[in-house]
Each structure stands twice: as structure tokens, then as C-alpha cells.
Amino acid sequence: MTSPLFSPFTIKQITFKNRIGVAPMTRMSAAGDSIPREDVLEFLKTRAKNGAGLVYTEAIVTDYESAQGYPGQARIVNQNQVDAWKDVTDEIRRHGAVSVCQIFHCGRMAYEGINPANRVIAPSPVAPMQENPMTGAPYPVPEQMNRFDMDHVLNGFVETAKGVVAAGFDGLELHCAHGYLLNQFLSTYSNRRTDAYGGSMENRYRFIHEVIQAVRQVMPEDRLLLVRVSNWGIADTKVSLFSDASEWRQMIQLFSKEPIDAISVSTYDFAADEFGTGKTMAKLTREVTDLPLLICGKIHDRKSAQNALADADLVLSGKSMLLNPNLVSDIAADRKLSLYESEEAGVAYTATPLP
């Protein structure tokens, strides 16, 4: 029986040959040139070759001043970096897949010394509660961003978007999820501002609006602009970043007024009941937007992928795509597949090339 997973889907002029994509995955492999290791780039090409309809890059940091939160992260603002990624997008296209570059600023999820300019900035001077696994020490209390900082960060997104366009990506995703800077603005957990960028959801959303508007201007109309959202963060993972379903819906409605082409919803488990509503995050989101939706979280075999597609247009897999090079053909053949544990994904951060 043919599965809807293997039917095409089109957003504007871009057609996905199937509904299964590689979720964005940071690899921390770049040297001083901010270009990922060759085998890490090869991994993305291999996933396209092996049938994924969509291939995301790792999250690329947007400036040299305060954006980076982990060692070995990539940038895409100079010709060498653009050339390295151009080779990847060419190859992904040759295999008939769509390429999307995710870009982000880590905000308070950074630490002393990790950025060349050595600053840690965020909407408010509030540090995550947990210790930083990278240093084993508490995260530093960030400096509160003023307008000058906000303009610099905004410019970083715009300059990086120019690099993404030059490298030939079909799409660009603004990472507004997982407790990084744009998400820090959206959530009262990290945004305690009393100016026009804090308080109501409209105010907390304001900086994201500015970033979307500025980035869209440097992107040709035929390239896709996406956003990734989540109710959970990498630090303090048990914290619900939004207070209830109505806050979530309000945020989605604000995104829906923007010149964006899709919303990617990141969850721990796509099937989970969210905010006690008895509904999944994809369903809650779909109820208030007409934008195409991507969903991710424990999608690992044909059954879970098909179920996830009930309230979304494309499904993404992280750990299963990372660890199983044949995931797409295994889903097509409906092979028995199990979920991978988080610890198994640790290999992503080693120098061991992934098949």
C-alpha cells in the first residue's frame, strides 16, 4: 500500500518529493574557519542520496560577537564558508531533495570565552537554572540587550541570511525554539523586560517580528522562510516555556501574519498530550494557522511517521536519521525499527564519521 509519506508536497515553487526530512542537528565539528568537518557535510549529502525529501543543516550561528553557545559551530558569512555549503546544496539538489539552513543566536545559552568577542547577552539578566554541560559550571548571568545589541544581532541574522541565499539553500529557518535567543524573547521564563520587548505576547514577539521582516528582505521570493518553535528548552528541560495552550496559540497566530512559508514544531514526543488539552502540539498549532507544518519528536518508523502526518505536512526525524542511514527505505519497507536513546546520539559530537 502506498503511504501518504511518499506523496509529494509543494510550498510555493519548491516541491518535496516525499514527507520525510532530516531534522537540524548540531555537530560541533568546525575548526577556526567555522566550516564543518568534511565527513559532517558528507553526512547531509548521504541522507539526501538515501531518499530524504528534506535535509536540514545544523544550527548555524549568526555572528562572531555573542551568537555561539557550543564549541565548533559553523558560520556562513564569508566566501569560503559559502563555497563549502554551496557544494552541499548542489549535491542535495542533485539527489532531488530540498535543503534548509537553520540559523540561530544562543543568547543566554552561551558562556565566557566561547565567542571570539566574549559576550553573553539575552533579553534579561536571568541565567538558566541548570549547570552548563559544556563547562560543568553555572551559566553566567547574561547582560541585558539594549537597542544597540539588538541591532547588532539583527544584522547578524541578515548577513547570515545573505550567506544562506548565496550558498543556494532552498530555505532558511529561524531557530525560535529550544531556549535559544529568539525563544528567550518569547518566553516569560527568560524575558522579564518592562520595555516594548517584554510583558505581553505581542511585546515579547516584537524582536522576532523585526528579525523576520529584515531577513525576508534579503531573500528572493522563491526561497522558503521557516521558523522552528517549541515549548521546551535544552536547559531546564522540564520547564514549560509557555503557560498554557492559549499563549501557544497566540504566538502561532502572530507568526501566521508574517511573510513566512511554514512552521516547524519541535516536541519531545509528537503524540504527547500538550498543556492538558488532550491534543498534540501539531493539532493545537494546526487549529490556528493555515501555514504548512513540520513536526518532530520520536518519529522513528512508518507507523509513527504516518500518525505524525495526520496533523502536519512534513515529518522530521533527528536521532533515527542520525544513526540509521537507511531510515527512509526502512520506512518505505515498513521494517521494524526501534527508538534510539539520547545517549546513542552522543556519537554526533565525536570525530567518528557517521555512515
Residues 95-134 that bind ligand FMN (CB under 6 A): 102
For 8, 43, 99, 127, 289, the CA distances from 54, given in Å and listed in that order, are 11, 13, 6, 35, 22
Q: Which residue in the set 23, 103, 121, 181 belongs to the binding site for ligand FMN (CB under 6 A)?
A: 23
Burial letters 84-96, b for 16+ CB under 10 A, else e: bbeebbebbeebe
Residue from the set 24, 123, 128, 142 that interacts with ligand FMN by CB under 6 A: 24
∠ Cα 1 319 181 (to 5°): 120
In angstroms, give the least distance from the CB of 342 to ligand FMN.
Answer: 7
Is the CB of residue 136 less than 8 Å from the CB of residue 144?
Answer: no
CB 132 within 8 A of CB 139: yes
Contact with ligand FMN (CB under 6 A) among 108, 204, 223, 228: 228
Q: Which residue has the cell 539578566?
A: 125
The answer to whether 216 and 162 have CB atoms below 8 angstroms apart is no
Of 189, 297, 308, 309, the one binding ligand FMN by CB under 6 A: 297
Distance CA 140, CA 307 (A): 41
Using CB under 6 A, which of 26, 50, 115, 191 touches ligand FMN? 26
Measured at CB, which residue is nearest to ligand FMN?
318
User: Which residue is it, cell 518529493?
Assistant: 17
Nearer to ligand FMN, 46 or 320 (CB): 320
Catalytic residue among 111, 139, 180, 340: 180
In 273-354, which ranges are continuous DSSP H helix? 281-286, 302-308, 319-323, 327-332
Q: Which stretch binds ligand FMN (CB under 6 A): 5-13, 132-140, 272-280, 293-301?
A: 293-301
Identify the residue among 266, 280, 285, 324 touching ligand FMN (CB under 6 A): 266
CB of 58: closest distance to ligand FMN in angstroms? 5
Applying CB under 6 A, does 18 fall inside the site for ligand FMN? no
What's the CA gap between 194 and 184, in Å, rounded?
15
Q: Minimum CB separation from ligand FMN for residue 304, in Å?
A: 9
Rounded least distance, CB 4 to ligand FMN, Å: 19
Regarding 36 and contact with ligand FMN (CB under 6 A), the answer is no
Whole-number minimum distance, CB 195 to ligand FMN, in Å? Answer: 28
Q: Is 144 exposed, middle or buried (0-12, 13-18, 19+ CB in 10 A)?
A: middle
Instruction: Examine the residue annotation and report whether 180 is marked as an active-site residue of this protein.
Output: yes
Q: Which residues bind ligand FMN (CB under 6 A)?
A: 23-26, 58-59, 102, 175, 177-178, 228, 266, 296-299, 317-320, 322, 345, 348
